[in-house]
Structure 1
Amino acid sequence: MGLRPAGAAFLLLAALLPPAAVAQPVTLRVAAQEGTEPKFIPAGPDRIIGLCVDIFRTIERIDPGLVFIGDQQWMPLIRAYHEVAIQQHDALCAVQRTEERERNYVFVDPPLFPIHYMLMVRADDDVVINNWDDVRKLGKDGMVLANRGYATTDFLIAQGGLQINASATSPAMNVQKLVAGRARFFLHRSPGLQAFIARAGATGKIRILPQVMSTAQLHMAMGRHVDPAVVARVRRALEQMEKTGELARLLKKWD
């Protein structure tokens, strides 16, 4: 018994299309992490833009069988990490690899982009900082603000001998603390630092010190429950983005 014309056409189409296009799309659950500009940036009451949103859309274009959902919904960063760890979400965009996080997530190479940790001070503060010893010498006058749940806090603790306040849950809160004189420094990451200061309403009130205090790479992190074959597909898409210069172009766009 021969195939009907429609059936034959479907089989021919299936033979011509790559496997990812024939199979059901794989949905990867994510969230827009609060306070992580330029990864996720509010662009109105119902729209979120940013570097990570562009990365998601580019991966979907390269591999149409992958679909990221949830990047238009805000979530505190600490909760976003937790949701992946308990298998309620599947991926985190642009996070720093740490020993603790290695136990909960699969970090995908290549890295998405590097970040540079910079110190900010009030605009009228003429302090000169070349290294962490300069900060330590200030003692209690060298209080450094960081954010609870961010890799920045772990990094500061590891330096030893620093006065650290990591009670704030968002970078914007720490900007206001710095402006109010509740600490001498705020350690945050670039790219996108000047734009972040502007969105926090602190243009002209704080300045970025020129010395890079540390550099790290940010990765796509997947939940350990995600099928390794799906992780491999994300990796292949990122490898293509790196090879074609797409990752560098997106970073330049949001720097």
Structure 2
Amino acid sequence: MRVVQCLFILIVCSLASFCEAALVLRTAAQESSEPKFLNLGKPGGSAVGGICVDIFRQIEKINPEIRFVGDQIWMPRARIDAYAKAGNIDVICGLQKISRNTVLYDLLDTQLFSVDYLLAVRADDKINIESWDDIRRLGDDGIILALRGFGIVDILQGVGGLTIDAGGTSSASNLRKLLMGRGRFYCHRSPGIKQAIRSAGMQDQIRLISKPVHTEKFFMGIRKNLPTEQVKKINEVLILLEKSGELKKVFDKYKE
């Protein structure tokens, strides 16, 4: 862990040395968070894209004094949080207003985007669900798979009475568990879940059900002790992007 942390700091510092911006903000690309962050795999170009990277670039465009570094470095959410606690990450893009997030970060008021959380089941599962109560009544036959460390786990726990397996670290692993019968449902956000099913080549094996649906808003998270003047600069640009419709344009680009 310490070696990885030192390497991250070295890379980010090296990137920052090329920036003439007055405000350099350290971040990271969150693993398994498509389409917030997407693996583009472009030789000679950016390896990471997605909603958050586009938002970072829009902020830099509006205010050239601001520069984000680290968004081309993949990192699991737990490590991002650890680095933020240590003061080595300043910004995390796309957080829900849940206690686990607000304890670590200040969330800016401007909504970046909102998503719907959908449930996937095996294609041959003819189950008909209308509400969370229906799933609750299934007991151990209604296990919901979710991604470890993601906000949806807290949200599902808050519903109460649901059986949740949050051991999976990627959509691919949870979809495999679903096919193996190690869960009845996989809960993940849209946009994101359809792309994950396609990437796994499971379009004929997995289907989405229409109910229940849970909607969540996402915001920009700032580490607690970031100077007020720096927070103000970020906030001002986000307000401009929201009013101009640019934030919506970015999100619409990644709609499924």
For residues 143-222 of structure 1, the aligned pairs below 5 Å read 143-222=143-222
1:99-153: CA deviation from partner (whole Å, max 9, x where unpaired): 2321211101211011111111011111111110110121211111112211111
Query: What residue ranges of structure 1 are gaps of 5+ in the alignment?
Result: 1-22
SS in 2 for 1:60: helix
SS in 2 for 1:138: helix
Answer whether contact 2:148 2:168 (CA < 8 A) is retained.
Answer: yes
Answer whether contact 2:135 2:162 (CA < 8 A) is retained.
Answer: yes
- Once the two structures are overlaid, the 10-residue window that deviates more, 146-155 or 207-216, is 207-216
Deviation of 1:24 after TM superposition, in Å, equals 4.7
Rounded Cα–Cα distance in structure 1 between residues aligned with 2:150 and 2:98: 11
Answer whether contact 1:110 1:239 (CA < 8 A) is retained.
Answer: yes
Deviation of 1:28 after TM superposition, in Å, equals 0.5
Answer whether contact 1:35 1:77 (CA < 8 A) is retained.
Answer: no
1:55-105: CA deviation from partner (whole Å, max 9, x where unpaired): 000000011000001111110112112211221111000111212321211
Rounded Cα–Cα distance in structure 1 between residues aligned with 2:73 and 2:162: 36
Rg larger in structure: 1
- Could you tell me the TM-score, scaled by structure 1's length? 0.87
2:63 is matched with 63
Rounded Cα–Cα distance in structure 2 between residues aligned with 1:229 and 1:200: 44
Answer whether contact 1:144 1:184 (CA < 8 A) is retained.
Answer: yes
Rounded Cα–Cα distance in structure 2 between residues aligned with 1:62 and 1:45: 26
1:35 is matched with 32
Change (3 A) 1:251 1:24: closer
- Once the two structures are overlaid, the 10-residue window that deviates more, 42-51 or 176-185, is 42-51
Answer whether contact 2:28 2:75 (CA < 8 A) is retained.
Answer: yes
Rounded Cα–Cα distance in structure 2 between residues aligned with 1:84 and 1:143: 32
Amino acid in the other structure paired with 1:128: N
For residues 125-140 of structure 1, the aligned pairs below 5 Å read 125-140=125-140
1:241 is matched with 241
For residues 11-22 of structure 1, the aligned pairs below 5 Å read none
- Could you tell me the TM-score, scaled by structure 2's length? 0.87
Amino acid in the other structure paired with 1:251: F
1:99 is matched with 99
Query: What residue ranges of structure 2 are gaps of 5+ in the alignment?
Result: 1-19
Task: Percent identity, please.
Answer: 40
Answer whether contact 2:171 2:196 (CA < 8 A) is retained.
Answer: no
Give the one of 41, 44, 48 matched to 2:41: 44
Answer whether contact 1:142 1:184 (CA < 8 A) is retained.
Answer: yes
Deviation of 1:212 after TM superposition, in Å, equals 4.4
Rounded Cα–Cα distance in structure 2 between residues aligned with 1:99 and 1:144: 21
2:116 is matched with 116
Q: How many residues align?
A: 233
